[in-house]
């Protein structure tokens, strides 16, 4: 059975950087492609953080493992060079259909005959892009979850023309890189995970956009109702990255004619993106990092009576 040894990532953002790092750690040779040196520099900085994390107890990597992963990674802004040797290309560019279509079309004439392509899109379908790849039989979705080192699942989803051999090769790749394959046999926007996750984020954002509750109270409610969860939906948005939350909200707001979702996108742009609060990797989003307020010891505590006036102020409609 065909084995993927050389992987190329298109897009070195939040997820592209994680997939690249983790796959290199698991023994694959990985080329990371992006359109700017600035993006690649940000990816390298993020991967330095991942390296530190992999050395910790939860994963328990050795210094030698991490050094070997670094050796297997390279970075480039040259698309032809990036894909020349690829067995598999994973596309992780923004969740904007035109951007994805354009990059598939640019890449199509540059690939070797055997190269497979997968999309990490969160909410779009492989059939939307199969023609643009120029090799529909060698194309499917391979959707990772954020925090790849602990959320080690990958949702595999073909479109009608994906060949069985393609699915065998990507499933083998998933297993070899320590991922639990989730088989989504019928095309479905959002797979399993994103059938509820963006809906949760959108519902939480609606509360904040419309001034119904503060971001902290939204997360407090979630965390008290789901004791043991690591973070609430506003904290999750920081992890996803505000640009991707914005792109998803804009796209689906337009597709569904959903005025509230478009208002949520606008809120994220003006209150967060325009202020450089792009999320966890930037050190600031809804929360400031590395010590977000929701990790404070008293975040979920019964408040002292001295806080009563502040709470009641929030209950009185503003004039």
Ligand X SMILES: NC(=O)c1ccc[n+]([C@@H]2O[C@H](COP(=O)([O-])OP(=O)(O)OC[C@H]3O[C@@H](n4cnc5c(N)ncnc54)[C@H](O)[C@@H]3O)[C@@H](O)[C@H]2O)c1
Segment interacting with ligand X, rule: CB under 6 A, options 28-36, 149-157, 198-206, 213-221: 28-36
- Give the strand order in the sheet containing 180-183: 73-76, 29-33, 6-10, 88-91, 116-119, 139-144, 153-157, 180-183
- Identify which of 181, 197, 241, 314 has the alpha carbon closest to the alpha carbon of residue 17: 241
- Identify which of 202, 203, 3, 190 has the alpha carbon closest to the alpha carbon of residue 88: 3
Rule CB under 6 A: say whether 190 interacts with ligand X: no
Taking only Cα atoms into account, the Rg of the chain, rounded to an integer number of angstroms, comes to 21
Size of residue set near ligand X by CB under 6 A: 27
Rounded to the nearest 5 degrees, what angle is found at the Cα of 261, between the Cα atoms of 256 and 263? 130
Name which position in 4, 7, 32, 39 contacts ligand X (CB under 6 A): 39
CA distance 34 to 45: 15
Segment interacting with ligand X, rule: CB under 6 A, options 33-41, 198-206, 222-230, 308-316: 33-41
Name which position in 244, 249, 261, 264 contacts ligand X (CB under 6 A): 244
Name which position in 13, 158, 233, 235 contacts ligand X (CB under 6 A): 13
Q: What is the dihedral of CA 85, 91, 93, 94, to 10 degrees?
A: 170
Segment interacting with ligand X, rule: CB under 6 A, options 5-13, 217-225, 226-234, 291-299: 5-13
Q: Which residue is nearest to ligand X (CB)?
A: 13
Name which position in 12, 23, 171, 205 contacts ligand X (CB under 6 A): 12
Rule CB under 6 A: say whether 155 interacts with ligand X: no
Rule CB under 6 A: say whether 238 interacts with ligand X: no
Q: Are 235 and 294 in contact (CB under 8 A)?
A: yes
Segment interacting with ligand X, rule: CB under 6 A, options 31-39, 163-171, 173-181, 300-308: 31-39
* Residue 10 parent element (H or E): strand 6-10
Contacts of residue 201, Cβ cutoff 8 Å, sequence gap at least 6 = 233, 236, 237, 240, 245
CB of 124 to ligand X, least distance (A): 7
* Contact pattern from residue 78 through residue 117 relative to ligand X, giving x for each residue in contact according to CB under 6 A and a dash for the rest: --------------xxxx---x---x--------------
Rule CB under 6 A: say whether 14 interacts with ligand X: yes
- How many angstroms from the chain centroid is the CA of residue 293? 23
Rule CB under 6 A: say whether 243 interacts with ligand X: yes
**Long-range contacts formed by 177-181: CB under 8 A, 24+ apart:** 177/22, 177/23, 177/26, 177/27, 177/28, 178/22, 178/26, 178/152, 179/144, 179/152, 179/153, 179/154, 180/152, 180/153, 180/154, 181/153, 181/154, 181/156
Cβ distance to ligand X smaller for residue 15 or 208: 15
Cβ distance to ligand X smaller for residue 25 or 197: 197
Rule CB under 6 A: say whether 10 interacts with ligand X: yes
- The full length of the chain comes to 319
Cβ distance to ligand X smaller for residue 218 or 240: 240
CB of 308 to ligand X, least distance (A): 38
The residues that touch ligand X, with contacts defined as CB under 6 A, are 10-16, 33-35, 39, 92-95, 99, 103, 120-122, 143-144, 146, 240-241, 243-244
């Amino acid at each position: 059975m065909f084995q993927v040894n050389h992987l190329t990532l298109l897009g070195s953002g939040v997820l592209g950087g994680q997939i690249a790092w983790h796959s290199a750690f698991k023994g694959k040779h990985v080329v990371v492609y992006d359109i700017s040196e600035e993006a690649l520099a940000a990816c390298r900085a993020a991967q330095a953080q991942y390296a530190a994390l992999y050395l910790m107890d939860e994963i328990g990597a050795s210094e030698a493992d991490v050094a070997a992963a670094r050796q297997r990674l390279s970075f480039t802004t040259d698309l032809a060079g990036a894909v020349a040797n690829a067995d598999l290309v994973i596309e992780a560019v923004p969740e904007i259909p035109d951007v994805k279509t354009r990059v598939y079309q640019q890449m199509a004439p540059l690939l070797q005959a055997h190269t497979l392509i997968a999309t990490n899109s969160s909410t779009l379908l492989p059939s939307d892009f199969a023609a643009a790849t120029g090799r529909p039989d060698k194309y499917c979705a391979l959707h990772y979850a954020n925090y790849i080192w602990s959320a080690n699942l990958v949702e595999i989803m073909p479109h009608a023309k994906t060949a069985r051999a393609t699915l065998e090769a990507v499933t083998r790749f998933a297993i070899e890189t320590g991922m639990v394959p989730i088989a989504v046999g019928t095309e479905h926007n959002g797979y399993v995970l994103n059938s509820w996750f963006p809906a949760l984020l959108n519902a939480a954002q609606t509360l904040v956009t419309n001034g119904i509750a503060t971001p902290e109270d939204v997360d407090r409610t979630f965390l008290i109702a789901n004791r043991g969860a690591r973070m609430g939906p506003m904290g999750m948005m920081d992890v996803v990255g505000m640009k991707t939350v914005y792109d998803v909200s804009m796209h689906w707001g337009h597709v569904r004619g959903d005025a509230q979702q478009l208002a949520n996108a606008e809120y994220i742009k003006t209150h967060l993106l325009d202020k450089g609060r792009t999320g966890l990797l930037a050190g600031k989003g809804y929360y400031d990092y590395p010590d977000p307020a929701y990790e404070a010891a008293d975040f979920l505590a019964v408040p002292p009576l001295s806080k009563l006036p502040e709470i009641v102020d929030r209950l009185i409609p503003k004039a």
